[in-house]
Chain A
Amino acid sequence: MGPMDKDVVRDDALHPTDDGFALDIRSHWYRSLPLTSLLVLDLSVDGEKMPENDMTVFVNGKSFTVPQLADGYDEWWYVLDPFELRVRRPGFDCGQPHQVEFGFGLAIPYILVGPPDAKQPLLAASHSSRTLVCS
């Protein structure tokens, strides 16, 4: 785990939204990446895995469903900007601390690994485990 992994989910990352909550996610890679690089967004809150269908990525003032990220080769996540991972969770109790586990996988598009005839982007994984309160 490198220094930048500590930054992925900061202490003030959790926010209430109209229909649930949002987490500010920061990059553990050193450069900006296209949205196609957001390959693994594995979020559990208080031991419960959040369904992909309930998550959207909000970045550059736009909202993307998880399947839409696969087409986001021309939409850039600037390295210093957090994106919001918005989760539909009606009734989410922001008055309590929450145990957040976030498995994040970035596909690094210029580092290709694997056999010569099946090369694919390196998966740079990061895991954050935090107890957060809403801010």
Chain B
Amino acid sequence: MTTTATTVALPKLGTTLFSLTLEMRKPGYTMEGMIDKVAELGLGPGLEMVGFQSLRGYPRVSSDVVSSFRAQCERTGLEPSAMSMNLDLGIHRGRLLDEEEALDYLEPQIATSRAMGFPVCKSSVVPTRSFLEGLVRILEKNGDMKFGFEIHSPLAVDSPEILRLRELYETIDSPLLGWTPDFSSSMHSVPPSLIAAHQESGMSRELTELAIEVWNSDTTMPQKFERFAAEAPALGATPADMGKLQMMLTMHGRQDPHRWSEIIDRVVHVHAKFYGIDSSGDEPSIDNATIIDVLVDGGYTGYISSEWEGHAYTDAVSGWDMVAGQHKLFRKLLSERAAHA
């Protein structure tokens, strides 16, 4: 193949098995069968999983499971993209893990992820220099595996927590420490599928419209919560409704997608969170075209991992169909981008 000076390097697509959270509860489920179907439907090549979801006994996984997984990837052409780990700081009743315990908790997860062939792992962190330095030592011991802290709503690139981590990353200056941007942080609308689900559960249109108006306001999160708490009860909000709509305010962020460029140099994985695909094939609450542009312009060539999260509030659609729809959208956007390089 001849390459030209105008060829642009593009990110690769992929899927996290988390998108199929409801599908894994159906009769006949096996992880192997699900992975085969990801390959058959062309939803790779990247394959991500949540260890504590997909693997019984994780992080203590037998060598047979590891070798079967690697062989299956080889056979299907799928490529392990990232392992979603969990830092269960609250695993003990009544106290949180200290820094040393937290590193000890992640180490076997990192080792298992590495053994399975994942080049990237991700979890939350203890936001201190000593913790991150300890994390780097573990990553180095495990073949220089990369770590991608997930920037997920309500966090954004300029949240105080993220600014603190950005400083620490610069201070420690290890190429193994990076980011996983999650599209939930940079949305332009509340997902229509979420609003529909809430209205079907009995919320009034006036109540959901208030929540949307508050979400769209240029105010801080505490101000949004305060206004919503003040005005929602008059519209018939039950305590359960209040909880769901406060969650809506929290889980969908309004960061300008162009601002992902501020951290693009350290992006090691991308979570393409989404909540629906409309009849025109677009995601109605996320400006995917702009995000793809930011990723390509920033030179990102890793995986964009499809993460359908609508399963948290609806089982009316298939996770498989949703991920396939998002892949179709991404292939269109990436081919347009390649054509205009």
Contacts and interface: CB of A to CB of B under 8 A. Distances in A.
A2 B93 contact: no
Nearest to B314: A3
A80 B91 contact: no
Interface of A: 1-4, 7, 30-34, 36, 70, 73, 76, 78-80, 107-110, 112, 119-121
A31 B52 contact: yes
Given A30-B53, A32-B58, A112-B89, A3 B311 contact: yes
Contacts of A4: 21-22, 25
A52 to B, nearest CB: 15
Nearest 5 A/B pairs, CB to CB: A109-B88, A121-B90, A3-B315, A109-B90, A31-B52
Contacts of A108: 90
A61 to B, nearest CB: 14
Nearest to B24: A80
A10 to B, nearest CB: 11
A109 B29 contact: no
A119 B96 contact: yes
Contacts of A3: 22, 311-315
B124 interface: yes
A70 B93 contact: yes
Contacts of B25: 4, 7, 80
Interface in B81-128: 86-93, 96, 123-124
A120 B86 CA distance: 16
Contact of A30 (B21, B29, B96): B21
Contacts of B89: 109-110, 112
Which of B21, B52, B86, B124 gathers the greatest number of chain A CB atoms within 10 Å? B52
B86 A110 contact: yes
A78 B56 contact: yes
Contacts of B96: 112, 119
8 contacts: A1-B201, A31-B50, A31-B86, A32-B53, A32-B58, A36-B92, A112-B96, A119-B90
Contacts of A112: 89-90, 96
B50 A30 contact: yes
Given A3-B22, A3-B311, A80-B25, A36 B53 contact: no
Contact of A31 (B29, B53, B87, B93): B53
Interface string B295-316: 0000000000000000111110
Interface string B34-58: 0000000000000000101100111
B57 A110 contact: no
A5 to B, nearest CB: 10
B57 A76 contact: yes
A119 B96 CA distance: 8
B87 A2 contact: no
B18 interface: yes
B86 A36 contact: no
Nearest to A79: B53
A1 B314 CA distance: 9
Nearest to A1: B201
A120 B21 CA distance: 26
A110 B90 contact: yes
A110 B124 contact: yes
A29 B2 CA distance: 50
Given A3-B315, A32-B53, A36-B92, A110 B21 contact: no
Nearest to B18: A30
Contact of B91 (A2, A30, A34, A78): A34
A9 B65 CA distance: 31
B91 to A, nearest CB: 5
